Amino acid sequence: MKPANSILASSGTSVFEVMSRLAIEHRSINLGQGFPDGNGPEDVRAKAAHFLEDKPNQYPPMLGVPELRQAVAAHAKRFYGLEIDWEREVMVASGATEVLASCLFGLIEPGDEVVLLEPLYDSYLPIVRRAGAVPRLVRLAPPGWELPRDDLAAAFSAKTKLILLNSPMNPAAKLFTREELAFIAELVLRHDAYAVCDEVYEHLAFDGRTHIPLMTFPGMRRRCLKIGSAGKTFALTGWKVGYVTAAPELLQPIAKAHQFITFTTPPNLQRAVAYGLGKDDAYFRSLARELETKRDVFAKGLAEVGFDVLACHGTYFISADFRPLGFNGDDVEFCRHITTEAGVTAIPVSAFYEGAGPDHFVRFAFCKEDEVLRGALERLRRHFRRG
């Protein structure tokens, strides 16, 4: 038989799926895959249920229902002062994952170069390659995750079509600073490139920090594609409602990709997300505040177990160095070990790098109920016999 596509055939099953299956098999507390264990805001779910009974339940407009596109534009104005034309500059798709794929398929020509920062979310590289681009990888490394400016500048060339930027960044829990973003914006301008900005964790920034979209920098308004996700903003990861904001000439080719991938996204969920994006500022503040408290409790507990815990400025994730625990093996082995022996599951940080990456850090998702976090810490404490 003829072989399947080699790029996709050579990708393994996603590390998130692998670790979640292992967690189920071993009845382990799953702090691997990044999903909250709550059920999302009740009022937003009630709206979705209502709109399911309400007409229409047929194909909505390809770009998304007007209410949600208007709400995305209003949200960009309210939080970032961006003036967005909802009719020509907003598109809804089935999760940020699909938005990312549509952006990459819509913009890349075979042979283009794409600059990516490691550690990176697992869908980026296969889709960049499947779209025919050559990836130029630049590494950020723990514990500080500083942006290596010289390496980044060297990765750009006349062939660079775009940079893919994730801030707040999974799994580094890093928010790119104003200075770092200005540096990136300058490179994008100098090389006449675009920036695909994965901002799914935009509201999950801690300790008074605020997320700054690259799109707000001089010269970036027409070069950035700004991506958000209801999964993260409403703690409803299973809904898969994502949205992108971009200048009309960029949105058009992206919409072409979307129309041939999924075409539309369930209309009741879109309308409920439109309602959600209109919630008052207190809702958005509480998202970060609740997670910040969980982070503090969990980070303290991990340190008491004996981990060297890294700083966490945003997202659902915190990473830690397990070497002080005396474990003899790499991060993949450590994650298997704590799943099967301690009953707690995490994700190896090396999974976010291509080829050999840092191999002694693991990522925990702390977007969980307090008693789940306490239970996980108790299991780790017992296993490593400390505290």
Q: Compute the distance between CA of residue 310 and CA of residue 339 in angstroms, rounded to an integer.
A: 21
* C-alpha torsion 82→88→93→98, nearest 10: -80
Cβ neighbours for 308, distance < 8 A, ≥ 6 positions apart: 143, 320, 321, 323, 324
- The least CB distance from residue 354 to ligand PMP, in Å, is 16
Q: Check binding of 121 to ligand PMP (CB under 6 A).
A: yes
Q: Looking only at residues 222 through 261 of this chain, which bind ligand PMP when binding is defined by CB under 6 A?
A: 229, 231, 237, 240, 242
- Least CB distance from residue 98 to ligand GLN, whole Å? 12
Instruction: For ligand PMP, give the closer residue by CB, 176 or 384.
Output: 176
Which member of 89, 112, 198, 321 binds ligand PMP (CB under 6 A)?
198
Supply the DSSP string of 133-180, one letter for each residue. Answer: PEEEEEE--TTT----HHHHHHH--TTEEEEEEESSBTTTTB---HHH
Neighbouring residues of 103: CB distance < 8 A, sequence distance ≥ 6:
196, 225, 227, 244, 254, 257
d(CA 364, CA 298): 9
Binder among 30, 70, 160, 170 for ligand PMP (CB under 6 A): 170
Binding site for ligand GLN (CB under 6 A): 14, 16, 33-34, 170
User: Minimal distance in Å, beta carbon 103 to ligand PMP?
Assistant: 12
Helix (H) or strand (E) holding 106: helix 95-107
Nearer to ligand PMP, 194 or 201 (CB): 201
Radius of gyration of the chain (CA): 21
Q: Between residues 299 and 367, which has the closer beta carbon with respect to ligand GLN?
A: 367
Among 70, 160, 166, 245, binds ligand PMP (CB under 6 A): 166
Q: Figure out which of the listed residues 30, 70, 97, 270 binds ligand PMP, where binding follows CB under 6 A.
A: 97
Burial zone of 385 (CB within 10 Å; 0-12 exposed, 13-18 middle, 19+ buried): exposed
Which does residue 306 touch among ligand PMP, ligand GLN, none (CB within 5 to 8 A, set by kind)? none
- Minimal CB distance residue for ligand GLN: 34
User: CB-wise, 229 or 268, nearer to ligand PMP?
Assistant: 229
Residues that bind ligand PMP (CB under 6 A): 34, 95-97, 121, 166, 170, 198, 200, 229, 231, 237, 240, 242
